[in-house]
């Protein structure tokens, strides 16, 4: 890949500026030479156009009717052809360079955004809508591409055409030249007036588009729920309302554009007519030559029409500016530092954890964990039990530093957790998340996802066996190369969970966290996984979150959480011996089990 597009070598944070034009200029780092080349080519093309008119003037005034020779005529004809070729070549070159600049800049920008969004914090992603992020990384980036490809270069072209032609005209006849541009300040004023309004209208249009793509994205993810509740009509109405709003805003935006055109067209047209008329009078009076008049009529078009286009470009640039703002809002967000840490650990973790009055809350709302204190020796298994919403997931999410605890002290192998680099923790801690997620790739790719090395088929199978999923995979025609997800087979909830367990086991973490990892698995399979895990838990600190007593009773220490607090702590035997939630759950679950057995027995009879 070309160096200029590689994201690792370039930090787009530099391109964040309150001055949007400056920011856009900075975004072009590495491509500015190309852009200047494009502008220079334009200048050459514009100059040759003007020279063509001067040649025409020379022909009319000095050659025509002066007993011209065939040689002179040929020379002049060649001159016209040469100039046309010259202009064409440089117009082409300029377009090409501009396209390279624009595509190059946004290629890099897209890569950067993708990488950047992945590195933002969990908190950021909790609060941002996927659809909105997608829209900013596509539609807004595309608006920036248009800015670099058409608008930035277009402005250069217009300024050059204007400057060159006006300078020459001023030299030919300054009075006529000045008369021809009296309308220009007015056009600029009108453009600025529209620029402000179009910016606003476009911003609100893009916002609505983001809302719409969020709605679309959410409804696609939740299409099963929509169907299950037969809420298609309701969702359609909601979408239609949002879409109607977008239509309204789009119409308003177009209205602005369509108002701008006739106003400036009339102004420009009148200006040109007046210029032609006055010029003709001057030519008749002999103030200017006929050749000058002809050159003037050619050149004045290249002053007036570009000015009209300048207005259009200024108006269109406002869209680029708005998109710039929307994209840099993401770029401005701080990345989660992955490798930074005041402590640089050596080798693997032992896995000794000490919680001392640890408190935690998500964005300073109500506390989620309150003064959690316990200790866990290396290699121990620790279980968390508690009603839903009691804070179990939140507690284990602190360990890989997905979130930062807000009070107390949490040490890992004797060092405060906040001193560890996140990347190291995430390599050492394996977490089977409560909601399993698989990529739309093969099962093999999903299982080997977290391992940064080549793994043998035997290793993959061993992990899959331990997670009690090997036999299921073996039934697929493509085995481990079966595609899962949208383009392949759909796995059941329990099967997904087991693939995710295999993935985590394969990464061989020092601390293993199973967050309700077997919630979608039947009791028999859970037993098989548990038996396999017991062997694998040896030598690593393990956190088990589960709702079944059978899953947690093997732990060396069981914590019972309620509303973010530890209400009971001890081994299975200790907790059974005391009154409390644990014994209640135990009694309830055994009673259900006994009744179930009785039912099964009676059916069997």
Residue of minimal Cβ distance to Mg ion: 393
Cα 448 from Cα 461, distance rounded (Å): 11
Cα 38 from Cα 537, distance rounded (Å): 64
For residue 518 the two structure tokens come to 């077997």
Question: Which has the closest alpha carbon to 544: 437, 446, 434?
Answer: 434
Least CB distance to Mg ion at residue 512 (A) = 16
Alpha-helix runs per DSSP H in 222-289: 223-228, 232-285
Residue 62 is classified by DSSP as I
Asked if 438 and 519 touch (Cβ cutoff 8 Å), the reply is no
Q: Which long-range contacts (CB under 8 A, 24 or more apart) does 151-155 make?
A: 151/313, 151/316, 151/317, 151/320, 152/24, 152/35, 152/98, 153/35, 153/38, 153/39, 153/42, 153/94, 153/98, 153/101, 154/309, 154/313, 155/310, 155/313, 155/314, 155/317
Question: Which has the closest alpha carbon to 511: 544, 534, 540?
Answer: 540
Binding of ligand TTP at residue 388 (CB under 6 A)? yes
Binding of ligand TTP at residue 126 (CB under 6 A)? yes
Contacted entry of Mg ion, ligand TTP, none for residue 131, CB cut-off 5 to 8 Å set by kind: none
Nearer to ligand TTP, 333 or 562 (CB): 562
* Contact characters 479-518, ligand TTP, x per CB under 6 A: -------------------------------------x--
Least CB distance to ligand TTP at residue 229 (A) = 22
Least CB distance to ligand TTP at residue 518 (A) = 13
What values do phi and psi take at 170, rounded to 5? -60, -35
Binding of ligand TTP at residue 401 (CB under 6 A)? no
* SS3 annotation, 456-512: CHHHHHHHHHHCCCHHHHHCCCCHHHCEECCCCECCCHHHHHHHHHHHHHHCCCCEE
Least CB distance to ligand TTP at residue 370 (A) = 12
What is the edge-to-edge ordering of all strands in the sheet holding 429-432?
429-432, 511-515, 541-545, 381-386, 557-562, 565-570
Binding of ligand TTP at residue 434 (CB under 6 A)? yes
* Contact characters 407-446, Mg ion, x per CB under 5 A: ---------------------------x------------
Contacted entry of ligand TTP, Mg ion, none for residue 416, CB cut-off 5 to 8 Å set by kind: none
Binding of Mg ion at residue 497 (CB under 5 A)? no
Task: Give, as ranges, the residues between 319 and 378 that touch ligand TTP (CB under 6 A).
Answer: 362, 368
Residue 415 CA from chain centroid, whole number? 36
Q: Using CB under 5 A, count the residues that bind Mg ion.
A: 2
Among 156, 275, 306, 391, binds ligand TTP (CB under 6 A): 391
Asked if 176 and 282 touch (Cβ cutoff 8 Å), the reply is yes
Binding of ligand TTP at residue 389 (CB under 6 A)? yes
Cα 493 from Cα 364, distance rounded (Å): 34
Report how many helices (DSSP H) and strands (DSSP E) the chain contains, helices first.
Answer: 22, 10
Nearer to ligand TTP, 146 or 563 (CB): 563
Binding of ligand TTP at residue 435 (CB under 6 A)? no
Binding of ligand TTP at residue 139 (CB under 6 A)? no
For residue 263 the two structure tokens come to 């106003």
Question: Which has the closest alpha carbon to 148: 160, 156, 139, 137?
Answer: 156
Contacted entry of Mg ion, ligand TTP, none for residue 497, CB cut-off 5 to 8 Å set by kind: none
Least CB distance to ligand TTP at residue 393 (A) = 3
* Contact characters 382-401, Mg ion, x per CB under 5 A: -----------x--------
Task: Give, as ranges, the residues between 247 and 306 that touch ligand TTP (CB under 6 A).
Answer: none
Least CB distance to ligand TTP at residue 426 (A) = 17
Q: Which helix (H) or strand (E) holds 550?
A: helix 549-552
Q: Using CB under 6 A, count the residues that bind ligand TTP.
A: 13
Least CB distance to ligand TTP at residue 383 (A) = 13
Nearer to Mg ion, 183 or 396 (CB): 396
Least CB distance to ligand TTP at residue 559 (A) = 11
- Interface with ligand TTP by CB under 6 A: which range of 225-233, 245-253, 384-392, 570-578? 384-392
For residue 197 the two structure tokens come to 């309004």
- Interface with ligand TTP by CB under 6 A: which range of 73-81, 111-119, 329-337, 389-397? 389-397
Least CB distance to ligand TTP at residue 396 (A) = 8
Sequence-separated (6 or more) residues with CB below 8 Å from residue 83: 48, 49, 51, 52, 55
Interface positions with ligand TTP (CB under 6 A): 126, 362, 368, 386, 388-394, 434, 516
- The residue ranges that bind Mg ion (CB under 5 A) are 393, 434
């Amino acid at each position: 890949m070309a160096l200029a597009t590689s994201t690792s070598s370039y930090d787009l944070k530099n391109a964040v500026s309150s001055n949007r034009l400056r920011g856009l200029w900075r975004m072009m780092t590495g491509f500015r030479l190309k852009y200047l080349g494009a502008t220079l080519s334009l200048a050459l093309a514009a100059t040759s156009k003007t020279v063509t008119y001067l040649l025409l003037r020379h022909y009319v005034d000095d050659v025509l009717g002066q007993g011209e020779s065939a040689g002179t005529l040929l020379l002049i004809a060649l001159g016209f052809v040469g100039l046309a070729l010259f202009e064409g070549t440089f117009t082409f070159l300029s377009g090409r360079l501009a396209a390279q600049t624009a595509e190059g800049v946004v290629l890099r920008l897209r890569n950067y955004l993708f990488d950047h969004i992945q590195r933002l914090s969990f908190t950021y992603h909790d609060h941002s809508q996927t659809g909105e992020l997608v829209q900013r990384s596509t539609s807004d980036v595309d608006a920036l591409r248009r800015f670099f490809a058409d608008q930035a270069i277009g402005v250069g072209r217009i300024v050059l055409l204007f400057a060159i032609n006006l300078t020459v005209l001023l030299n030919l006849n300054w009075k006529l030249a000045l008369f021809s541009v009296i309308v220009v300040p007015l056009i600029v004023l009108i453009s600025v007036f529209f620029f402000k309004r179009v910016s606003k209208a476009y911003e609100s249009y893009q916002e609505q588009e983001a809302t719409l793509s969020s709605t679309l994205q959410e409804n696609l993810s939740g299409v099963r729920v929509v169907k299950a509740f037969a809420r298609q009509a309701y969702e359609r109405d909601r979408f239609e309302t949002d879409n109607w709003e977008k239509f309204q805003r789009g119409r308003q935006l177009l209205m602005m554009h369509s108002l701008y055109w006739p106003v400036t067209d009339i102004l420009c047209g009148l200006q040109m007519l007046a210029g032609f008329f006055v010029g003709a009078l001057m030519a008749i009076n002999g103030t200017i030559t006929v050749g000058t008049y002809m050159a003037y009529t050619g050149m004045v078009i290249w002053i007036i029409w570009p000015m009209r286009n300048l207005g259009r470009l200024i108006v269109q640039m406002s869209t680029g500016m708005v998109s710039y703002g929307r994209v840099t809002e993401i770029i401005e967000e701080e990345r989660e530092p992955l490798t930074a840490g005041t402590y640089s650990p050596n080798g693997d973790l032992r896995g000794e954890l000490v919680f001392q009055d640890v408190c935690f809350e998500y964005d300073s709302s109500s506390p989620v964990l309150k003064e959690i204190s316990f200790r866990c020796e290396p290699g121990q298994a620790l279980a968390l039990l508690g009603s839903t919403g009691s804070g179990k997931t939140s507690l284990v999410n602190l360990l890989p530093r997905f979130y930062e605890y807000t009070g107390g002290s949490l040490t890992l192998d004797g060092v405060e957790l906040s001193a560890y680099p996140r990347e190291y923790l995430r390599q050492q801690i394996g977490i089977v998340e409560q909601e399993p997620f698989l990529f739309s790739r093969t099962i093999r790719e999903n299982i080997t996802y977290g391992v940064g090395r080549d793994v043998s088929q035997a290793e993959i199978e061993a992990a899959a066996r331990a997670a009690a999923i090997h036999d299921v995979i073996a039934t697929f025609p493509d085995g481990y190369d079966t595609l899962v997800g949208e383009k392949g087979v759909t796995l059941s909830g329990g099967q997904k969970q087991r693939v995710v367990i295999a993935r985590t086991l394969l990464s061989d973490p020092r601390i293993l966290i199973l967050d309700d990892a077997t919630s979608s698995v039947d009791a028999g399979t859970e037993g098989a996984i548990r038996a396999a895990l017991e062997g694998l838990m040896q030598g690593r600190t393990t956190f088990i979150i589960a709702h079944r007593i059978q899953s947690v009773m093997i732990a060396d220490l069981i914590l019972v959480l309620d509303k973010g607090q530890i209400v009971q702590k001890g081994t299975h035997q200790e907790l059974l011996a005391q009154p409390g939630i644990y014994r209640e759950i135990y009694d309830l679950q055994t009673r259900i089990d006994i009744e179930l057995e009785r039912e099964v027995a009676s059916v069997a009879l």
